[in-house]
Structure 1
Amino acid sequence: MVSRNSRDLPKGSIVTLRGLARFLLPYKKQFALAAIALIVAAGATLAIPYAFRQMIDLGFGAGGIQSTTHINTYFIALFGVACVLGVATAARFYMVSWLGERVTADIRSAVYTHVVTQSPQFFETTQSGEVLSRLTTDTTLIQTLIGTSISMALRNILLFIGGLGMMFVTSARLTSIILVMLIAVVLPIVLFGRRVRSLSRDSQDRIADASALAGEILNAMPTVQAFTHEKIESNRFGLTVEDAFKTAIRRIRARALLTMIAILLVFGAIVFVLWLGAHAVIDGTMSGGQLGQFILYSAIVAGGIGALSEVMGDAQRAAGAAERLLELLSAQSPITSPVEPLALPPRRANGAALTLDMVTFAYPSRPLTPAISGLSVTIGAGETVAVVGPSGAGKTSLFQLLLRFYDPQEGTIELDGTDIRQLDLHALRDTIGIVPQDTVIFSANAMENIRYGRPDASDEEVVIAAKLAAAHEFIERLPESYLSFLGERGVRLSGGQRQRIAIARALLKNPPLLLLDEATSALDAESERLIQGALEAAMVGRTTLVIAHRLATVQRADRIIVMEHGRIVETGTHASLVAAGGLYAGLAALQFGQH
C-alpha cells in the first residue's frame, strides 16, 4: 500500500484541498466566467422575494386599474428575473461542469504520469489495484467537488449573505434573534462534520483494498482456476466488499444524521422567528408584503445553510480523496536522472563495455539481506557472458542494477567508462535491450507489440525483426497476421510464442547491450533450435549477458560467470568449469546431464 503510515498523520480536513490549487490555476478565465454567471444567478434569486413583496403590497394593496397595472408590471418583471436566472444558471452549470471534467482529466494524467516514472521500489509497497482506485474513484470525488459542490457552495454562500442582508433590511429585530439562534446550532454541526470526514477516508480506503484484491486475482486467474480456488477467492473478495459496504454505511448514516440535525435545528430556529413575525403583522408593526419577503429570504438563508451542510459532506470526502492523490504525487523516486547528465561516447561497432566494481546491493524491502555482495567484473565490448547459479544467487538482481531500476548501496557500475548514475535514465535504457523471463504482451496486435521496441520502426523493420526471432511464421498463421489482436497479456499465444515476440521486440530496438533472462526457457526443442541461430546472429556487434540454464546457450558464451549468494564464485568457459569440479560442474550434472 502507499505510505500507510502517512495516512495516520494528522491532516487539516478541507485545508488539504489547497494542494489541488496548481490544477485550478491554469483555468482562471473559466473560473471568472463561472463566477460572473454565479453572481448574476444569485442576484436574480435574491430579487425574487423583493418582487413578491412589491406585488403583494402595491399590487394587491391598491385598487381598480392601478391594481391591475401593478400586477401586470410585477409579473412581467418576475418573469424577466426568471429568464435571467435561467440563462445565468445554465451558463454556470456549463462552466463548472467543464472545469470539473477538465481538472479531473489533468489530475488523472498527472498522477499516472508521475506513477509510471517511479522505480520498482515504489511498486514493492504499492498494489496496482490501489493506484487504479485512486485514478478512478478518488478523481471522481474531486470531479464532483469541482464540477458541482464548489459551485453550490459559492452560490449558497452568496445567497446566505445576500439573504441575511435583505432580512436585516426587512426586519432587523427578527434577524438579530434568528442569528443568535443560528450561532447556537452551528457548533454541533461543525463538530459532527469531523466525524463524517474520518469515516469518508475509511470508506475510500476499503474500496481501494477491494480494487487491489480484485486486480491481483484477475491477473492470476489461470492459477486460481488450476487450484480450484474460485469459491475461496470469491468469498475473500466478498468479505472485502462487505467490509467496504459496512464502512460506507457508517459514513452514510453519519452524514444523514448530520443533515437531519442541520435541517431540524436551522428550520426550528427560523420557524420560531417567523412565529414572532406573524404576531408583528397582527399587531400592525409589519406589512403582509414585508412578512412574505422575510419568509422567502429566511427560506433562502435556511436553504443555503442546508445546502452548505451537504456540500461540506462532499468536500470532506473530496479532502480524503485529495490526500490520497497528493500522496501519490508527492512520492519521490530514488532513481532519477542527474541534473546535468553526461553523454555516452559514440556507439562502438562491437557493442558496449561494462565494469562493476565492488557492487553491493540489498532490496529496500529486505535491507539486511544483500542480493549482491562485493561483486566486481569487467565485460568487454562484444563479449557474450553467461551468468549461471542457483535460484537466489543474484542473477536477476544484476540485470535490474544494470537497467538502474535500483542503485547499489556500495560500488559503481560503468557503461563505456561512465558511471551509469551520471547518465540520463532514458539514454541509459535506450542502450539496453532485454528479453525478460516473464514476457509482457500488451493488449494490442502483433505489429504494435513488436514495435514497442522502437516506436518509430517501419512495418518492414518489424517483419525483419520477427523473422530474426523465428516469430514470422506463427504470426503469419494468425487470423489477421500482424494485425491480429493478441489478447490481454497475450493469452492467445503459447509461452514460446510470447517469448519470441519479446525477442523480436529486443532485436528491433538494436541496442549495443543485450540482456537475456532465460530467453529460451519457454521454447520447445524445435523453437529453441530455430531461435538459437537468431540469438547468435543478434549477439554479433553487441555485448550480451545471458541468464540461462540451457546448455546450448551456456556452451556458446565467451565466458561463464557462476554466482552464489550474490557473489561470483567461479568464472571460465564451459569446459574449464566442468573440469574444475566446482559449483558449475554440479549444476551441469543436475541440469544438463553432464557426468
Structure 2
Amino acid sequence: MSPKMKKFFSYYRPYLRIFALDMACAFTASGLSLAFPLLVRYIAAELFQPDGPVATASFLLITLVLVAMTVAEYYCNFFITYYGHVMGARMEADLRNELFAHLQKLSFSYYDNQKTGQIMSRITNDLFEITELYHHGPEDLLISAVKLVGSFIILITINPPLTLIVFSFIPPMFLFAYHYNRKMRQAFQKNRARVAAINAGIEDSISGVRVVKSFANEHLELEKFHRNNHLYLESKKDSYYYMARYHSGINAFSSMIYVAVVIAAAILIQIGKVSTLDLVTFLLYINAFLDPIKKLVNFGEQFQNGFSGFDRFYEILQIAPDIVDSREAVELTEVKGEIAFENVSFRYPGTTTNVLSHVNLKVAAGEYVALVGPSGVGKTTLCSLIPRFYEVTEGRITLDGIDIREIKLKSLRRKIGIVQQDVYLFAGTVLENIRYGKPEATVEEVITAAKKANAHDFIMALPEGYETNIGQRGVKLSGGQKQRLSIARVFLKDPPILIFDEATSALDNESEKVIQESMEALAKDRTTFVIAHRLSTIRNARRILVLAEDGIVEEGTHEELIARNGLYAQLYRLQFA
C-alpha cells in the first residue's frame, strides 16, 4: 500500500469501534430491507390462501417479527445517520487540526506564493468532500453490495428468466449514469469556480470599500458583480440541464424495468411459468436494487471529489517546513542581545539573485542601530533573518555567540519584539489585542504596558475602555492608535531584542512624535534595530547603517554621515529639499 493510501486509511484508526458498528448497522439494515418482501410473500402464499384456514398463531408471530424488524431497522438507520455523521465530523476536525497545525509550521516563503482564498478552500471545502467520502463511501458500498447480491439471489431462486430480464437493464443504466454524472461533475466544478470568483469579488469590494466610495465607483463594483453573477447563473443553468437529464433518465429506466417486468410476467403467466404472487414479489424487489445502483453511481462521483480533495490535502502535508529546530537546538534562558552577521548572503527561494551579499555586522547588547537606504536594498529582509522568518543562504547569524539555527524557534522568537509599519490587529477587544503579546498576562499587566506605550488615555476614552471591540484589523482606530496598541503588545512581551520596521512612516507629525516617545521608552536597554524611512526619526541614533545593493556602504552617526557627503547625505537632502 502506498504511503498516501496508508495516510488516507489512518484517520479511521481512532474510530474503529464506531466504524465497525456503523458497518454492522448498514449490513443489518440492508438485510432487513431485503427480508420484508420475502415475509410479505410468505404471508400471502401461506396464510391468506382462499382454500385454507388462517393460522392465527403464525400470523401473529409474523406480525411480531415484522414489528421487531421495523424497530431494528429504525435503530440501525438512526445509528448510521447520527453516529456515522458524527464520526465523519470528528474525522473532518482531525484533518483540519492537522492541516492547520502544519500550516503554522510553514515559513513566510510558502505564504509568499499562495493566495489566502486557496488555502481557506483547502481547509473548508476540500475537507468536507473528504469526510463525505470517509463516512458515506464504505457505507454505500456495503449497502449496495448486500442489496444487489441479496436481491439477485432471492429473485433468481424465484424465477430465473424474469430475473435476467430485470438485471439486463443494469449495464445500460450504469453507462447512462456514468456519462451524465461526468457532465454534472464538470458543470458543478464550473459552479464552484464561479462562486469563488463571486466571493473574491465581494471580498475585494468590501475590503476596499473606502477606496470604492472615495472614487464614487460603486457602479463599477456593481457591474463586476453583475457580470460574475450572470456567469454563475449560466453555469447553474448548465448544471441543472445535466441534472434534469440524469434524474429523468434514471426514472425512465426505473419505469422501463417495471414495464418490462409486467410485460414479461404477463407472457410467462399465460404459459404458466410465473405466478401472480411472483410478479408482486418482483415488483417489490425492483426498488431494492434500483436504490443501490443509484448509490454506486453517486459513489463514483463521491470518490472522485473526495479523493481529489485528499490529494490536495496530502500535497500540503508533503510540503516540509524549510525552517525547523535542529536536533541539538537549545532553549534560551538569559539573553544579553549581542547579534552578529557573519558573511551572510540571502536570496528568496526560487530566485537566483542575492538580496543580501556577504554582510558582516556586529551589534552589541543594548545597542540602538538604525538601518536606512533606498527601497528594495534588503533592510526588512536583513531584520527578518534575525527571528528566522527566512533562512540565510550563506554564512550565519549569532545571538550571544550561538548560531540562531541552534536555538529553538519558539525560544528565539519569544526574545524578539517586532513593530511593523502595517499593524495587524485581530478582530476583538483592545484587551485581547494587547494581551496577544503575553496570553497569560493579568489585566493590571496589560494596563501597565498600555501606559508605557502612551495608549492608556485614548483607550479609556473609548466607549467600553479595554473591552471595546475594535473591528476587523482595528478599523475603528486611527493609525497612531493602532501603532500604540502594537507597541503596548511588545511592551507586554518584554523582549530583549526589538525590531522597528518603518513603524512611524505612515503617521502624521503629531502621532509620530507620540509613537517616537513610546518607541524610545521601549528601546531602553534593549538591542534595537530601526528600519527608518523618515530620516528625522533616527537623527539621534548613535549608529546608522546605510544599505545599498552592495550591502552596508556607510556607517556612523548622523553628523558623520552628512560630513562624508555620500549616499546618506544624498538621501537626506532629497527628503528635506
**TM-score normalized by the length of structure 1:** 0.88
1:343 aligned onto 2:327 = no
Q: What SS class does the counterpart of residue 296 from structure 2 fall into?
A: helix
- What does residue 113 of structure 2 align with? 125
Q: How does 1:489-568 map to 2 (within 5 A)?
A: 489-551=473-535, 553-565=537-549, 567-568=551-552
1:323 aligned onto 2:308 = no
Distance 1:121 1:41, change over 3 A: same
- What does residue 36 of structure 1 align with? 24
8 Å CA contact 1:130–1:209 kept in 2: the answer is no
Greater shift in the superposed pair: 260-269 or 461-470: 260-269
Cα distance in 2, alignment partners of residues 438 and 149 from structure 1? 47
- What does residue 354 of structure 1 align with? 339
Distance 1:156 1:203, change over 3 A: same
1:383 Cα deviation from its structure 2 partner: 1.0
Cα distance in 2, alignment partners of residues 211 and 355 from structure 1? 47
Please point out which of 472, 476, 479 is paired with 2:456: 472
- What does residue 219 of structure 1 align with? 207
- What does residue 8 of structure 1 align with? none
Cα distance in 1, alignment partners of residues 109 and 190 from structure 2? 26
Distance 1:442 1:331, change over 3 A: same
Cα distance in 1, alignment partners of residues 205 and 404 from structure 2? 37
Cα distance in 1, alignment partners of residues 209 and 549 from structure 2? 33
1:372 Cα deviation from its structure 2 partner: 2.2
1:371 aligned onto 2:359 = no
Question: RMSD of the alignment, in Å?
Answer: 2.9
Please point out which of 369, 373, 378 is paired with 1:385: 369
1:381 Cα deviation from its structure 2 partner: 1.4
Please point out which of 51, 68, 81 is paired with 1:80: 68
| Amino acid paired to 1:532 | Q
Q: How does 1:421-460 map to 2 (within 5 A)?
A: 421-460=405-444
Cα distance in 2, alignment partners of residues 362 and 238 from structure 1? 43
- What does residue 481 of structure 1 align with? 465
Q: What SS class does the counterpart of residue 291 from structure 2 fall into?
A: helix
1:437 Cα deviation from its structure 2 partner: 0.7
1:404 aligned onto 2:388 = yes
8 Å CA contact 2:368–2:543 kept in 1: the answer is yes
| Amino acid paired to 1:59 | L
| Amino acid paired to 1:402 | I
1:281 aligned onto 2:266 = no
8 Å CA contact 2:4–2:314 kept in 1: the answer is no
Cα distance in 2, alignment partners of residues 202 and 584 from structure 1? 55
8 Å CA contact 2:487–2:518 kept in 1: the answer is no
8 Å CA contact 1:17–1:322 kept in 2: the answer is no
Distance 1:554 1:344, change over 3 A: farther
1:147 Cα deviation from its structure 2 partner: 5.0
Cα distance in 2, alignment partners of residues 248 and 112 from structure 1? 32
Q: Deviations over 1:524-544 (max 9, x none)?
A: 444443443332232223210
Please point out which of 160, 166, 177 is paired with 2:148: 160
Cα distance in 2, alignment partners of residues 259 and 17 from structure 1? 33
Distance 1:581 1:363, change over 3 A: same
| Amino acid paired to 2:340 | T
Greater shift in the superposed pair: 57-66 or 438-447: 57-66
Cα distance in 2, alignment partners of residues 68 and 125 from structure 1? 77
8 Å CA contact 1:164–1:297 kept in 2: the answer is no
8 Å CA contact 1:129–1:211 kept in 2: the answer is no
Cα distance in 1, alignment partners of residues 573 and 89 from structure 2? 64
Greater shift in the superposed pair: 483-492 or 100-109: 100-109
Distance 1:93 1:261, change over 3 A: same
1:506 Cα deviation from its structure 2 partner: 1.1
Structure 2 gap ranges (5+) = none
Cα distance in 2, alignment partners of residues 415 and 252 from structure 1? 63
Q: Deviations over 1:350-372 (max 9, x none)?
A: x312222333323336x144332
Cα distance in 2, alignment partners of residues 277 and 70 from structure 1? 30
Greater shift in the superposed pair: 532-541 or 440-449: 532-541
Q: What SS class does the counterpart of residue 413 from structure 2 fall into?
A: helix
8 Å CA contact 1:133–1:211 kept in 2: the answer is no
8 Å CA contact 2:329–2:405 kept in 1: the answer is no
8 Å CA contact 1:55–1:71 kept in 2: the answer is yes
1:422 Cα deviation from its structure 2 partner: 3.0
Q: How does 1:94-243 map to 2 (within 5 A)?
A: 94-148=82-136, 151-183=139-171, 185-187=173-175, 189-190=177-178, 193-243=181-231
8 Å CA contact 1:370–1:566 kept in 2: the answer is no
- What does residue 7 of structure 1 align with? none
| Amino acid paired to 1:403 | P
**TM-score normalized by the length of structure 2:** 0.90
Distance 1:222 1:404, change over 3 A: farther
Structure 1 gap ranges (5+) = 1-11
